[in-house]
Amino acid sequence: MKSTKLGTVPSHQYVLNDSLHQLFDAVNIVSVQGYDEERRVIYWNVGSELLYGYSKEEALGQKLEDLIIPISMRELVITAHHNWITQGTKIPASEITLCHKNGSDVSVFSSHVLFINQYNKKQMYCLDVNLADVKHAQSQAEFKDHMLKTIIEALPDLFFLMEMDGTIIDYHGADQKNLFVAPSQFIGKRMTDLLPDEAVSKFQAHIDKVLHQHGMTTFEYELNMPHGLVYFEARLSYLASYNQIVAIIRDISEQYKSADIIRKQAYFDSLTSLPNRFLALDRLSQMLLESERNEEQTAVLFLDLDDFKKVNDSLGHEVGDKVLIESANRLKHTLREVDIVGRLGGDEFIVLLRGIKEQHDALVITDNLLKAFRSPFIIDGRELMLTVSIGVAIYPENGLCASDLLRNADTAMYRAKDLGRNTSSFFSKEMNAMMIRRFKIEEQMHGALERKEFELYYQPQFDVKKRQITGAEALLRWHNSTLGNVTPDEFIPIAEHTGLIVPIGRFVLKQALYFLHQWQNIYQQKYTMAVNLSPRQFRDAELLSVIKNAIIDANVSAEDLELEITEGVLMIGQSQIHDALVKINALGIKLSMDDFGTGYSSLSYLRQYDFDVLKIDRSFINGIPLNKADCELVNAIISMAHSLGLTVVAEGVETLEQLTLLDKLGCDLVQGYYFSKPIPAKLFLDFAANYNLKK
| Contact call for residue 562 and Mg ion (CB under 5 A) | no
In this complex, which beta carbon is closest to ligand C2E, that of residue 122 or of residue 437? 437
User: Which of these, 507, 484, 505, 481, lies nearest to 495 by C-alpha position?
Assistant: 505
x/- site string to Mg ion, residues 442 to 481, per CB under 5 A?
----------------------------------------
Which residues make Cβ contacts (< 8 Å) with residue 134, sequence separation at least 6?
none
Contact set for ligand C2E, span 461-480 (CB under 6 A): 475-476
Decide: 368 and 391 in contact? Cβ < 8 Å: no
Residue 568 touching ligand C2E (CB under 6 A): no
- The answer to whether the Cα torsion of 25, 31, 35, 39 is positive or negative is positive
Residue 534 binds ligand C2E (CB under 6 A): yes
Closest CB to Mg ion among residues 297, 461: 461
535 binds, among ligand C2E, Mg ion, none (CB under 5 to 8 A by kind): none
Which residue among 36, 49, 651, 668 contacts ligand C2E (CB under 6 A)? Answer: 651
> For 88, which DSSP code?
-
Give dist(CA 56, CA 33) in Å, integer.
10
Q: Does 662 bind ligand C2E (CB under 6 A)?
A: no
Minimum CB–partner distance for residue 304 and ligand C2E (Å): 22
Work out the widest C-alpha separation in the chain, in whole angstroms: 175
C-alpha span between 606 and 598 (Å, rounded) = 14
Least Å distance, CB 623 to ligand C2E, is 13
Residue 49 or 594 with smaller CB distance to Mg ion: 594
When asked if residue 534 is in the footprint of Mg ion (CB under 5 A), the reply is: no
Give the E-state strand segments of 120-197 in sequence order: 122-130, 158-163, 168-173
In the bound state with ligand C2E, the residue whose beta carbon lies nearer, of 301 and 476, is 476
Can residue 668 be called a binding residue for Mg ion (CB under 5 A)? no
Q: How far is the CB of 662 from Mg ion (least distance, A)?
A: 15
- In whole angstroms, the minimum distance from the beta carbon of 629 to ligand C2E comes to 20
Contact of residue 115 among Mg ion, ligand C2E, none (CB under 5-8 Å per partner type): none
Q: Which of 347, 595, 597, 634 binds ligand C2E (CB under 6 A)?
A: 595
Given the rule CB under 6 A, which of 24-32, 319-327, 433-441, 668-676 is the region that contacts ligand C2E? 668-676
CA distance 306 to 321: 15
Strands 669-670 and 647-650: parallel
492 binding ligand C2E? (CB under 6 A): yes
DSSP annotation of 101: T
**477 in the Ramachandran plot: left (φ > 0), alpha (ψ -120 to 50) or beta?**
beta
**Minimum distance from CB of 640 to ligand C2E (Å)?**
20
- 294: exposed, middle or buried (Cβ count in 10 Å: 0-12, 13-18, 19+): exposed
Q: Which H or E run contains 431?
A: helix 429-445
**Cβ contact 278:267 at 8 Å:** yes
Binding to Mg ion (CB under 5 A): which residues in 494-533?
Answer: 532
- Strands 41-44 and 94-99 turn out to be unpaired
* Nearest approach, Cβ of residue 617 and Mg ion (Å): 6
Cα 648 from chain centroid (whole Å): 56
Nearest residue (CB) to Mg ion, 166 versus 597: 597
Query: Can you say how many angstroms the Cα of residue 54 is from the centroid of all Cα atoms in its chain?
Result: 81
Residues in contact with ligand C2E by CB under 6 A are 459, 475-476, 487-489, 492, 505, 508, 532-534, 564, 594-595, 618, 651-654, 671-673, 678
Residues in contact with Mg ion by CB under 5 A are 532, 564, 594-595, 651
